[in-house]
């Protein structure tokens, strides 16, 4: 009885994204490493940022270890880009630098962690693994520091994804009842695994590495579900609209047509195949249901009352069950 799925995607220039936790390499990562507020929109990407100029002047979105001419220790200048040849990401990147030599626990020890755009990280000479997290997008690179001022660029090969939903052909869903789960689209386990991004609300933007993803949109808490496979392109914002074939149904048990709803009523909604899709108690329970045929079963004062009804897309209505 699940609702049918439909979606379309429109690729635009990437201009903004939302910061959320990103994949990290094996290591002990302190709590609170991600940005405190994952829903802040980043500003428009500038045409160009010159890392060398930032290093020379100490201006720009640097860390607390800002570059100065009298810096006591040589620094590694890091910048990240969504795609090769694109502009530098100006802010919102979580940089983590790990020693390449595993610790006693077999993990790579975390040496530095900073947040910004183009950043300067003081490092001793040696071999390191650098990880950049930008929302759910991330990338790693092995580097060697010789002891002078050095520059590294990580190309994340990432883009943005924005999701919303309609009911039927063109009706807005009821507020705050649609959410989206984003799964990797590699076919390995699918929805049996935990979502990469759970419970995303409509019109939020999430940053992701370029690739294919499986989207599951749920309208309400019953069986109104839409699915789609989409492709996120590097450097672009992909907008996807999911169409739900569903409606909200409000149930009431009455002693006569148009009468007052009877309190202390227990409810069950079942499909013709006998599948229970909704259980509740109360005088006016409501539920979002996928299109199709159902039976409403009301239990009141140890008596059972039933009514068959049909759900049509976007037709929100009351269903009265008559207590005979």
- Whether residues 166 and 186 share a domain: the answer is yes
- Whether residues 96 and 135 share a domain: the answer is yes
* Residue 226 CB-density burial (10 A; 0-12 exposed, 13-18 middle, 19+ buried): buried
- Whether residues 45 and 59 share a domain: the answer is yes
Q: What is the mean pLDDT of residues 123-141?
A: 94
Dmax over CA atoms of the chain, in Å, equals: 89
Structure tokens at 44: 């428009």
Give pTM, 2 decimals. Answer: 0.75
- H helix intervals, 199-308: none
Q: Tens digits of per-residue pLDDT, 194-209?
A: 899 999 998 889 999 9
Specify the CATH number for the domain of residue 96. 2.60.40.10
Q: What is the pLDDT of residue 62?
A: 33
Question: Can you tell me which residue has the tokens 């169409």?
Answer: 243
Nearest to 140 by CA among 271, 287, 25: 25
**Is residue 52 pLDDT above 90, yes or no?**
no
Q: What is the pLDDT of residue 73?
A: 57
- Whether residues 256 and 193 share a domain: the answer is no
Are 99 and 128 in contact, with CB atoms under 8 Å apart?
yes
Q: Flag whether 20 is in a domain.
A: no
Q: Flag whether 22 is in a domain.
A: no
**Residue that terminates a domain, selected from 216, 244, 272:** 244
Specify the CATH number for the domain of residue 261. 2.60.40.1120
Q: Tens digits of per-residue pLDDT, 64-123?
A: 333 334 444 567 999 999 999 999 999 999 999 999 988 888 889 999 999 999 999 999
Question: What's the whole-number average pLDDT of the chain?
Answer: 80
Q: What is the mean pLDDT of residues 27-37?
A: 34
**Is residue 241 pLDDT above 80, yes or no?**
yes
Structure tokens at 73: 């220790």
**Is residue 41 pLDDT above 80, yes or no?**
no
Sheet containing 126-134: order of strands:
110-116, 93-99, 126-134, 137-145
- Whether residues 152 and 46 share a domain: the answer is yes
* Residue 6 CB-density burial (10 A; 0-12 exposed, 13-18 middle, 19+ buried): middle
Terminal Cα distance for the chain, rounded: 29
- Whether residues 110 and 42 share a domain: the answer is yes
**Residue that terminates a domain, selected from 244, 275, 308:** 244
251 forms bridges with which residues in the sheet?
Answer: 319
Q: Flag whether 281 is in a domain.
A: yes
Q: Flag whether 27 is in a domain.
A: no
**Residue that terminates a domain, selected from 114, 131, 156:** 156
Q: What is the pLDDT of residue 324?
A: 81
Q: Which domain holds residue 317?
A: 247-322
**Is residue 13 pLDDT above 80, yes or no?**
no
Q: 7-21, 82-96, 139-153 — which is least confidently predicted?
A: 7-21
CA distances to 23, 97, 98, 116, 135 from 128, in Å? 18, 7, 6, 19, 22
- Our count of domains for the chain comes to 3
């Amino acid at each position: 009885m699940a609702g049918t799925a439909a979606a379309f995607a429109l690729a635009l220039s990437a201009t903004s994204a939302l910061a959320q936790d990103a994949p990290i390499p094996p290591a002990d990562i302190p709590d609170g490493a991600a940005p405190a507020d994952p829903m802040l929109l980043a500003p428009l990407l500038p045409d160009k940022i010159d890392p060398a100029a930032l290093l020379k002047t100490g201006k720009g979105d640097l860390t607390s270890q800002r570059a100065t001419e009298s810096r006591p220790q040589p620094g590694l200048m890091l910048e990240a880009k969504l795609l090769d040849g694109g502009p530098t990401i100006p802010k919102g990147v979580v940089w983590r630098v790990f020693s390449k030599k595993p610790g006693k626990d077999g993990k790579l020890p975390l040496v530095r962690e900073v947040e910004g755009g183009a950043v300067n990280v003081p490092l001793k000479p040696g071999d390191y693994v650098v990880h950049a997290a930008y929302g759910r997008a991330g990338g790693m690179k092995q580097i060697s520091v010789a002891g002078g001022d050095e520059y590294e660029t990580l190309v994340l090969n990432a883009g943005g994804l924005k999701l919303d939903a309609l009911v039927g052909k063109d009706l807005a869903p009821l507020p705050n009842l649609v959410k989206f789960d984003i799964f990797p689209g590699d076919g390995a386990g699918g929805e049996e695994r935990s979502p990469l991004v759970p419970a995303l609300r409509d019109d939020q933007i999430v940053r992701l590495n370029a690739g294919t993803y499986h989207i599951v949109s749920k309208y309400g808490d019953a069986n109104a579900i839409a699915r789609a496979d989409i492709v996120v392109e590097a450097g672009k914002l992909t907008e996807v609209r999911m169409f739900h074939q569903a409606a909200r149904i409000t149930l009431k048990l009455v002693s006569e047509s148009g009468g007052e709803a009877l309190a202390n009523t227990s409810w069950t909604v079942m499909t013709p195949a006998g599948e229970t899709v909704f259980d509740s108690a109360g005088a006016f329970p409501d539920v979002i249901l996928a299109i199709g045929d159902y039976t409403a079963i009301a239990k009141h004062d140890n008596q059972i009352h039933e009514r068959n009804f049909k759900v049509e897309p976007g037709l929100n209505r009351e269903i009265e069950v008559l207590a005979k």
